[in-house]
């Protein structure tokens, strides 16, 4: 085994000062962080001059790649004109107005108003507060519980992390909060019973949701939040008919349906919003990430007219609407959001993603023959490759063996950046990716999987 090269000055300085999220902090001193210094299209370059295909669009977000000149010019112009202002006390800016109008234009359901945040986590926190505020306005103070799902990811602020259905987001953070319910994960490969069809699986999950609501009391549940495709839980694509099965149950009990489109939105699944790709009719919508192609932080909550009416009535009763963020509606982020949507519309981003999807799916399907791969799944240019110890029985590796993280090491060696989510390798390239670049991405992924297979065999990790 080759000796680990000494850490660079930048790596040493990083380790002395920076806390890295979602990282094995106890191992970073040996591994050293990867320090990036520039980007070009779907590529990023590290401080040693190595170029990588950034197959995760950063964190599911840099849809336009890493050096879009129109975005840079829009940011520069806005910084010169008005580098900051807020939305408090009835203040506003033209970029915030224009972006809200564009969001209303492309929304999958009728939207009345837009509330700005700095991130997807803040957007989902706001969704809960608005659901509570709305029910208080209607004189329903008990209708406050929120349904989420096992393996959901909705952020890491206190409430958003409570909505998230992943153990690492709860362990030793004293989460989740009371009043958050987690129903079934719609992952047929992992949770379907022997002999159960997908349709029967969907019917069982719908009945389990109904049972939960009746057990808790529909008059105590304000909303259900769901990602159309579950992202950081492992790129879990719902079975056909899933949302169509659960939506009437929610409607029957007057439970709002919140669509978390933070990863799914702005063309990623081949439609403007993932809800359109997967039969979901949301009440409210959370957006962030690709809204600005991540060129500046920005999130938003899109709300219908009846909810805006409730906000106004409570404002009249209380004297003000007591919620907001210093950077919510930041003019830089809003100007970039406007420009990003203009570019998406001009390049017909949804059609572009749909045109690339057959190649993406074909290369994914080919991976199913690999001895490590149990399942592949995708929606548009969003995919996941689940690694297993035994293909026939679907037996997973012990998480402590670190097969997913070791695959990421091999990926980096082949100049490709993807994200291991447990033992699922997530793929989410910039939506500007060309066919030759997409083929190169999968060629490098195949090499990394071969390296991982050799390592698994050498270490004897498959067990009995």
Secondary structure of the chain in HEC code, one letter for each residue: CCCCCCCCHHHHHHHHHCCCCCCCCCCHHHHCCCCEEEEECCEEEECCCCEEEECCHHHHCCCCCCCCHHHHHHHHHHHHHCCCCCCHHHCCCHHHHHHHHHHHHHCCCCCCEEEEECCHHHHHHHHHHHHHHHHHHCCCCCCCEEEEECCCCCCCCHHHHHHCCCHHHCCCCCCCCCCEEEECCCCHHHHCCCCCCHHHHHHHHHHHHHHHHHHHCHHHEEEEEECCCECCCCCECCCCCHHHHHHHHHHHCCCEEEEECCCCCCCCCCCCCHHHHCCCCCCEEEECHHHCCCCCCCEEEEECHHHHHHHHHHHHHHCCCCCCCCCCCCHHHHHHHHHHHHHHHHCCHHHHHHHHHHHHHHHHHHHHHCCCEEEEEECCCCEEEEECCECCCCECCCHHHCHHHHHHHHHHHCCEECEEECCEEEECCCCCCCHHHHHHHHHHHHHHHHHHHHHHHHHCCCCC
Number of domains the chain is built from: 2
Residues 374 and 189 sit within 8 Å (Cβ to Cβ): yes
Cα 338 from Cα 222, distance rounded (Å) = 32
Gap between the terminal Cα atoms of the chain: 27
Q: Are residues 229 and 275 in the same domain?
A: yes
CATH at residue 302: 3.40.640.10
Closest CA to 260 of 292, 218, 232, 221: 232
* Lateral strand order in the sheet of 284-287: 113-117, 299-303, 284-287, 256-260, 221-226, 145-149, 180-183
Do 142 and 208 fall within a single domain? yes
Q: Is residue 16 part of a domain?
A: no
- State the CB neighbour count (10 A cutoff) for residue 256: 23
Instruction: Write down which residue in 323, 346, 369 finishes a domain.
Output: 346
* 395 plus 421 within the same structural domain: yes
User: Measured between alpha carbons, how far is 373 from 387 in angstroms, rounded to an integer?
Assistant: 5
* pLDDT of 4: 65
Q: Answer for the pair 259, 274: CB distance below 8 angstroms, yes or no.
A: yes
Residue 30 confidence (pLDDT): 84
Residues 201 and 251 in one domain: yes
Q: Which domain holds residue 440?
A: 34-67+350-459
Last residue of a domain, one of 310, 331, 346: 346
| Separation between Cα atoms, residue 392 and residue 373, nearest integer Å | 11
Look at residue 20 and tell me if it is in a domain: no
- 221 and 79 in a single domain? The answer is yes
Q: What is the pLDDT of residue 464?
A: 58
176 preceded by a cis bond (ω within 30 of 0): yes
Task: Give pLDDT tens digits along the chain (464 positions).
Answer: 455 678 999 999 989 999 998 888 888 888 889 999 999 999 999 999 999 999 999 999 999 999 999 999 999 999 999 999 999 999 999 999 999 999 999 999 999 999 999 999 999 999 999 999 999 999 999 999 999 999 999 999 999 999 999 999 999 999 999 999 999 999 999 999 999 999 999 999 999 999 999 999 999 999 999 999 999 999 999 999 999 999 999 999 999 999 999 999 999 999 999 999 999 999 999 999 999 999 999 999 999 999 999 999 999 999 999 999 999 999 999 999 999 999 999 999 999 999 999 999 999 999 999 999 999 999 999 999 999 999 999 999 999 999 999 999 999 999 999 999 999 999 999 999 999 999 999 999 999 999 999 999 999 998 75
Q: Are residues 293 and 430 in the same domain?
A: no
Q: 112 and 196: one domain?
A: yes
pLDDT at position 3 is 55
Considering the domain architecture, whether residues 395 and 415 belong to the same structural domain is answered as yes
Contact 224, 147 (CB under 8 A): yes
The answer to whether residue 184 is domain-embedded is: yes
Whether residue 28 is contained in a domain is answered as no
> Do 147 and 252 have their domain in common?
yes
Rounded-to-integer distance, Cα 208 and Cα 357, Å: 33
CATH of the domain at 366: 3.90.1150.10
pTM given for the model? 0.95
| Domain presence at residue 404 | yes
Domain assignment present for 301: yes
Q: What angle do CA 72, 73, 76 make, to 5 degrees?
A: 85
Task: Copy the structure tokens of residue 185.
Answer: 């994960």
In a domain, 22, yes or no: no
- Tens of pLDDT, residues 403-427: 999 999 999 999 999 999 999 999 9
From 346, 378, 411, the end of a domain falls on 346
Same domain, 43 and 98: no
pLDDT of residue 463: 77
Each residue's pLDDT tens digit, 260-291? 999 999 999 999 999 999 999 999 999 999 99
13 falls within a domain: no
Residues 325 and 411 both lie in one domain:
no
Q: Do 128 and 226 belong to one domain?
A: yes
Distance of CA 293 to the CA centre of its chain: 13
Q: How far apart are CA 177 and CA 158, in angstroms?
A: 8
Residue labelled with tokens 């001009």:
346
């Amino acid at each position: 085994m080759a000796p680990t090269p000494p850490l660079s000055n930048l790596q040493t300085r990083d380790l002395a000062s920076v806390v890295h999220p979602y990282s094995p902090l106890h191992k970073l001193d040996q591994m050293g962080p990867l320090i990036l210094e520039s980007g070009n299209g779907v590529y990023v370059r590290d401080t040693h001059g190595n170029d990588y295909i950034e197959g995760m669009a950063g964190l599911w977000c840099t849809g336009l790649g890493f050096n879009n000149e129109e975005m840079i010019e829009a940011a520069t112009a806005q910084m010169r004109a008005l580098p900051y202002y807020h939305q408090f006390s009835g203040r506003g800016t033209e970029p915030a107005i224009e972006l809200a109008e564009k969001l209303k234009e492309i929304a999958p359901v009728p939207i009345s108003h837009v509330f700005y945040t700095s991130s997807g986590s803040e957007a989902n926190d706001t969704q809960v507060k608005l659901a509570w505020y709305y029910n208080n306005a209607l004189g329903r103070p008990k209708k406050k519980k929120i349904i989420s799902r096992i393996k959901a990811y909705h952020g890491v602020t206190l409430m958003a992390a409570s909505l998230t259905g992943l153990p690492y987001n709860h362990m030793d953070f004293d989460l989740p909060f009371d009043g958050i319910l987690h129903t079934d994960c719609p992952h047929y490969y992992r949770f379907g019973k022997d002999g159960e069809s997908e349709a029967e699986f969907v019917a069982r999950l719908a009945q389990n949701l109904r049972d939960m609501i009746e057990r808790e009391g529909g008059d105590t549940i304000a909303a259900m939040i769901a990602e159309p495709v579950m992202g950081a839980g492992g790129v879990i694509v719902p079975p056909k008919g899933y949302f169509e099965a659960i939506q009437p149950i929610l409607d029957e009990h007057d439970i709002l349906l919140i669509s978390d489109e933070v990863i799914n939105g702005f063309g990623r699944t081949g439609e403007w919003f993932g809800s359109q790709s997967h039969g979901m009719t949301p009440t409210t919508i959370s957006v962030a990430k690709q809204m600005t192609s991540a060129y500046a932080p920005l999130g938003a909550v899109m709300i219908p007219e009846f909810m805006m009416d409730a906000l106004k009535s409570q404002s009249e009763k209380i004297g003000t609407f007591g919620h907001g963020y210093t950077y919510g509606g930041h003019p830089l982020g809003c100007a970039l959001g406007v420009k990003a949507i203009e570019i998406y519309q001009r390049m017909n981003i949804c059609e572009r993603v749909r045109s690339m999807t057959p190649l993406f799916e074909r290369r994914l399907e080919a991976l199913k023959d690999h001895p490590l791969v149990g399942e592949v799944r995708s929606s548009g240019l969003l995919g996941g490759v689940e690694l297993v110890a035994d293909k026939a029985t679907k037996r997973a590796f012990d998480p402590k063996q670190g097969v997913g993280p070791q695959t990421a090491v091999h990926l980096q060696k082949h100049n490709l950046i993807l994200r291991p989510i447990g033992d699922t390798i997530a793929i989410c390239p910039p939506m500007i990716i060309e066919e030759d670049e997409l083929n190169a991405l999968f060629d490098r992924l195949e090499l990394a999987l071969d390296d991982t297979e050799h390592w698994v065999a050498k270490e004897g990790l498959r067990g009995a």
